Amino acid sequence: MTRLVFYHHPQAENFSLKYSSASVAEIRSQREQSDESTKLIGYPFETPVYVLYEGDSEIESAQDIDFDQEWLSDRIRDLPRPGQVVAFRLVELLEAAVDVRDEDEFRLYKEFEPQKIQQALDHVSWGAPLPTVAGEVMSNLILRHSLPNANHRTGIAMLQFCIESVEPDFEMPRTHVDDDTWREWVDPYIVDSKRLITVRRNNLRFKQLEELNVDLVERKDGIQIRLAEFELDMHWREALSEYAEQHESHCTDFAQSVLERAERDDLLDRQGPTKQEFIA
């Protein structure tokens, strides 16, 4: 029988897995030592597993978004110009994502962290082949997770901006939420991306679960991670590097697929933009 535990608490998605044990006493001790809000689930397997979840007691509604220009300017004024330009674009994209969804169902899970946008831009191989640059832009923005939500949606949009910066006439496959053809094609890329970034941040926690004979971890949206398919036995710093590389490769493959699907094979070998061309 498959032994499955949840990565996000089933009744509180802003609480995520922090510690697991077969010992009630140990899990209670970990809970007492935590400085965060916690929740606890006991999984009634033949050998029970107890999981501690940590998180914020409240999450904001999208109705609370108020990213006006003055608010945003105050938070990005210390960034170099490329970071400022991309920050404005990302916030516009986040607001657009809220507009096309039911605001009551759209939640903000963290603070806006604009400094991470500049970090993402600093790790792009500007001027490399276009699929590489576009994929790295997407990957680094997703990995830095600067926005309170919609980081994959905005990451794909920034990939589109990257391609358009060298080919203004490029037409991206439709990205509207009601475009079933687009979703059928792109969703597997997003799901695999979310698997990689979840394992990247949690390899030691997942190794602990694996040692407790847990087979699957399920994160929100029903995305399942089969632990046996991932290398977990490494230092957490090594995991950050290893899975960042895998994620970057995954997004580069996605960029290449976008160009091929748009029948723009002529752009596969085109030189990607410089940072200045990207923000122009």
Place of tokens 């390899």: 203
- Which among 206, 205, 227 has a CA at the least distance from the CA of 216? 227
**How far is it, in rounded angstroms, from Cα 32 to Cα 191?**
34
Collapsed DSSP state (helix, strand, coil) of residue 74: helix
pLDDT given for residue 60 in this prediction? 54
- Which among 189, 194, 178, 171 has a CA at the least distance from the CA of 262? 171
Tens digits of pLDDT across the chain (280 residues)? 789 999 999 998 889 999 999 999 999 999 999 999 999 999 999 999 999 999 875 555 545 555 566 766 777 777 888 888 888 787 777 766 655 454 444 455 556 777 888 889 999 999 999 999 999 999 999 998 776 666 788 889 899 999 999 999 998 876 544 566 777 888 999 999 999 999 999 999 999 999 999 999 999 889 999 999 999 999 999 999 999 999 999 999 999 999 999 999 999 999 999 999 998 7
**How far is it, in rounded angstroms, from Cα 36 to Cα 151?**
25
**How far is it, in rounded angstroms, from Cα 133 to Cα 123?**
10
pLDDT given for residue 180 in this prediction? 67
Residue 54 has which token pair?
């940590």
